[in-house]
Amino acid sequence: MKILNTLAALALTTAPAYAASGPFFSLANTNFVVTIAFVIFIGVLIYLKVPGKVAGLLDNRATEIQSELDEARALREEAQSILATYERKQQEVSEQADHIVETAKAEASRAAEQAKEDIKVSIARRLQGAEDQIASAQAAAIKDVRDRAIAVAVAAASDVIAKGMSAKDAGALIDASIKDVGEKLH
Protein backbone atom coordinates (compact mmCIF):
# COMPACT_ATOMS: atom_id res chain seq x y z
CA MET A 1 0.00 0.00 0.00
CA LYS A 2 2.86 2.37 0.83
CA ILE A 3 4.45 1.49 -2.46
CA LEU A 4 1.33 2.47 -4.36
CA ASN A 5 1.07 5.76 -2.53
CA THR A 6 4.71 6.49 -3.23
CA LEU A 7 4.26 5.69 -6.91
CA ALA A 8 1.21 7.97 -7.13
CA ALA A 9 3.08 10.83 -5.44
CA LEU A 10 6.00 10.40 -7.81
CA ALA A 11 3.70 10.36 -10.80
CA LEU A 12 2.04 13.64 -9.73
CA THR A 13 5.31 15.39 -9.02
CA THR A 14 7.17 14.38 -12.12
CA ALA A 15 8.37 17.14 -14.35
CA PRO A 16 6.73 17.35 -17.73
CA ALA A 17 8.57 15.58 -20.50
CA TYR A 18 9.95 17.41 -23.50
CA ALA A 19 7.31 15.82 -25.73
CA ALA A 20 4.53 17.49 -23.75
CA SER A 21 3.25 20.83 -24.91
CA GLY A 22 1.21 23.47 -23.16
CA PRO A 23 0.34 23.83 -19.48
CA PHE A 24 0.66 20.70 -17.35
CA PHE A 25 -2.98 20.64 -16.16
CA SER A 26 -4.41 20.49 -19.65
CA LEU A 27 -5.87 17.51 -21.51
CA ALA A 28 -3.69 18.52 -24.43
CA ASN A 29 -0.62 17.71 -22.35
CA THR A 30 0.24 14.01 -22.78
CA ASN A 31 2.02 13.85 -19.48
CA PHE A 32 -1.08 15.03 -17.64
CA VAL A 33 -3.26 12.49 -19.46
CA VAL A 34 -0.81 9.64 -18.73
CA THR A 35 -0.65 10.73 -15.08
CA ILE A 36 -4.46 10.76 -14.79
CA ALA A 37 -4.67 7.34 -16.49
CA PHE A 38 -2.03 6.02 -14.15
CA VAL A 39 -3.81 7.39 -11.07
CA ILE A 40 -7.12 5.92 -12.30
CA PHE A 41 -5.39 2.62 -12.94
CA ILE A 42 -3.90 2.64 -9.47
CA GLY A 43 -7.30 3.62 -8.02
CA VAL A 44 -9.00 0.71 -9.84
CA LEU A 45 -6.35 -1.64 -8.53
CA ILE A 46 -6.91 -0.37 -4.99
CA TYR A 47 -10.71 -0.47 -5.37
CA LEU A 48 -10.57 -4.09 -6.58
CA LYS A 49 -8.20 -4.84 -3.71
CA VAL A 50 -5.59 -6.18 -6.12
CA PRO A 51 -2.63 -5.30 -3.85
CA GLY A 52 -4.22 -7.37 -1.06
CA LYS A 53 -4.91 -10.21 -3.46
CA VAL A 54 -1.38 -10.03 -4.85
CA ALA A 55 -0.01 -9.91 -1.31
CA GLY A 56 -2.25 -12.87 -0.42
CA LEU A 57 -1.09 -14.78 -3.47
CA LEU A 58 2.52 -13.98 -2.61
CA ASP A 59 1.90 -15.02 0.99
CA ASN A 60 0.26 -18.26 -0.23
CA ARG A 61 3.16 -18.86 -2.58
CA ALA A 62 5.62 -18.13 0.23
CA THR A 63 3.71 -20.57 2.45
CA GLU A 64 3.76 -23.19 -0.31
CA ILE A 65 7.47 -22.64 -0.85
CA GLN A 66 8.08 -22.90 2.90
CA SER A 67 6.05 -26.10 3.11
CA GLU A 68 7.95 -27.50 0.11
CA LEU A 69 11.22 -26.54 1.79
CA ASP A 70 10.06 -28.20 5.02
CA GLU A 71 9.01 -31.28 3.07
CA ALA A 72 12.33 -31.30 1.21
CA ARG A 73 14.16 -30.95 4.52
CA ALA A 74 12.13 -33.83 5.97
CA LEU A 75 12.82 -35.93 2.88
CA ARG A 76 16.50 -35.09 3.13
CA GLU A 77 16.57 -36.13 6.78
CA GLU A 78 14.70 -39.32 5.92
CA ALA A 79 17.11 -40.00 3.05
CA GLN A 80 20.05 -39.43 5.38
CA SER A 81 18.49 -41.79 7.89
CA ILE A 82 17.94 -44.43 5.20
CA LEU A 83 21.48 -43.88 3.93
CA ALA A 84 22.86 -44.33 7.44
CA THR A 85 20.79 -47.49 7.82
CA TYR A 86 22.07 -48.88 4.54
CA GLU A 87 25.63 -47.93 5.43
CA ARG A 88 25.24 -49.80 8.74
CA LYS A 89 23.79 -52.79 6.90
CA GLN A 90 26.59 -52.64 4.36
CA GLN A 91 29.12 -52.56 7.19
CA GLU A 92 27.41 -55.53 8.84
CA VAL A 93 27.34 -57.45 5.56
CA SER A 94 31.01 -56.62 5.00
CA GLU A 95 31.85 -57.88 8.50
CA GLN A 96 29.80 -61.02 7.90
CA ALA A 97 31.57 -61.57 4.58
CA ASP A 98 34.95 -61.15 6.29
CA HIS A 99 33.86 -63.59 8.99
CA ILE A 100 32.68 -66.08 6.36
CA VAL A 101 35.99 -65.79 4.50
CA GLU A 102 37.96 -66.29 7.72
CA THR A 103 35.80 -69.27 8.65
CA ALA A 104 36.19 -70.75 5.18
CA LYS A 105 39.98 -70.32 5.36
CA ALA A 106 40.07 -71.97 8.78
CA GLU A 107 37.87 -74.83 7.58
CA ALA A 108 40.01 -75.25 4.46
CA SER A 109 43.12 -75.36 6.64
CA ARG A 110 41.52 -77.95 8.93
CA ALA A 111 40.36 -79.96 5.93
CA ALA A 112 43.90 -79.87 4.50
CA GLU A 113 45.35 -81.05 7.83
CA GLN A 114 42.71 -83.78 8.02
CA ALA A 115 43.49 -84.82 4.45
CA LYS A 116 47.21 -85.02 5.33
CA GLU A 117 46.38 -87.18 8.33
CA ASP A 118 44.07 -89.36 6.23
CA ILE A 119 46.81 -89.76 3.60
CA LYS A 120 49.34 -90.70 6.29
CA VAL A 121 46.92 -93.28 7.71
CA SER A 122 46.16 -94.59 4.22
CA ILE A 123 49.87 -94.88 3.38
CA ALA A 124 50.52 -96.61 6.69
CA ARG A 125 47.64 -99.03 6.00
CA ARG A 126 48.92 -99.73 2.50
CA LEU A 127 52.46 -100.24 3.78
CA GLN A 128 51.13 -102.59 6.44
CA GLY A 129 49.06 -104.40 3.80
CA ALA A 130 52.12 -104.68 1.54
CA GLU A 131 54.24 -105.95 4.45
CA ASP A 132 51.49 -108.44 5.29
CA GLN A 133 51.39 -109.58 1.66
CA ILE A 134 55.16 -109.88 1.60
CA ALA A 135 55.11 -111.85 4.87
CA SER A 136 52.30 -114.03 3.54
CA ALA A 137 54.14 -114.59 0.27
CA GLN A 138 57.32 -115.36 2.21
CA ALA A 139 55.45 -117.79 4.46
CA ALA A 140 53.83 -119.39 1.38
CA ALA A 141 57.24 -119.67 -0.29
CA ILE A 142 58.77 -121.19 2.83
CA LYS A 143 55.83 -123.60 3.08
CA ASP A 144 56.19 -124.51 -0.59
CA VAL A 145 59.95 -125.12 -0.10
CA ARG A 146 59.27 -127.22 3.02
CA ASP A 147 56.48 -129.14 1.28
CA ARG A 148 58.78 -129.74 -1.67
CA ALA A 149 61.63 -130.72 0.64
CA ILE A 150 59.30 -133.05 2.53
CA ALA A 151 58.05 -134.54 -0.73
CA VAL A 152 61.63 -135.05 -1.93
CA ALA A 153 62.66 -136.42 1.46
CA VAL A 154 59.64 -138.74 1.55
CA ALA A 155 60.37 -139.88 -1.97
CA ALA A 156 64.01 -140.41 -1.14
CA ALA A 157 63.14 -142.13 2.15
CA SER A 158 60.58 -144.22 0.32
CA ASP A 159 63.22 -145.33 -2.17
CA VAL A 160 65.72 -146.10 0.58
CA ILE A 161 63.13 -147.92 2.68
CA ALA A 162 61.76 -149.79 -0.31
CA LYS A 163 65.21 -151.01 -1.22
CA GLY A 164 66.23 -151.94 2.28
CA MET A 165 62.95 -153.12 3.79
CA SER A 166 61.22 -156.40 3.60
CA ALA A 167 57.50 -156.88 3.08
CA LYS A 168 57.04 -157.83 6.69
CA ASP A 169 58.73 -154.67 7.94
CA ALA A 170 56.71 -152.58 5.47
CA GLY A 171 53.43 -154.02 6.77
CA ALA A 172 54.43 -153.32 10.37
CA LEU A 173 55.36 -149.75 9.43
CA ILE A 174 52.01 -149.19 7.69
CA ASP A 175 50.14 -150.58 10.69
CA ALA A 176 52.07 -148.27 13.03
CA SER A 177 51.35 -145.30 10.80
CA ILE A 178 47.61 -146.08 10.70
CA LYS A 179 47.56 -146.42 14.46
CA ASP A 180 49.48 -143.11 14.85
CA VAL A 181 47.09 -141.28 12.49
CA GLY A 182 44.07 -142.73 14.29
CA GLU A 183 45.34 -141.46 17.66
CA LYS A 184 45.93 -137.98 16.28
CA LEU A 185 42.48 -137.75 14.70
CA HIS A 186 40.68 -138.69 17.90
The pLDDT profile of the chain, 186 residues, written as one tens digit per residue, is 676 566 666 555 655 445 556 677 777 788 888 999 999 999 998 999 988 898 999 999 999 999 999 999 999 999 999 999 999 999 999 999 999 999 999 999 999 999 999 999 999 999 999 999 998 888 888 888 878 777 777 777 777 767 776 777 777 777 888 888 778 776
pLDDT at residue 144, as a whole number? 84
Within 10 angstroms of residue 132's Cβ, the number of other Cβ atoms is: 10
CA distance 60 to 54: 10
Considering only CA atoms, which of 33, 11, 9 is closest in space to residue 21? 33
pLDDT at residue 12, as a whole number? 58
Q: What's the predicted TM-score (pTM) here?
A: 0.39
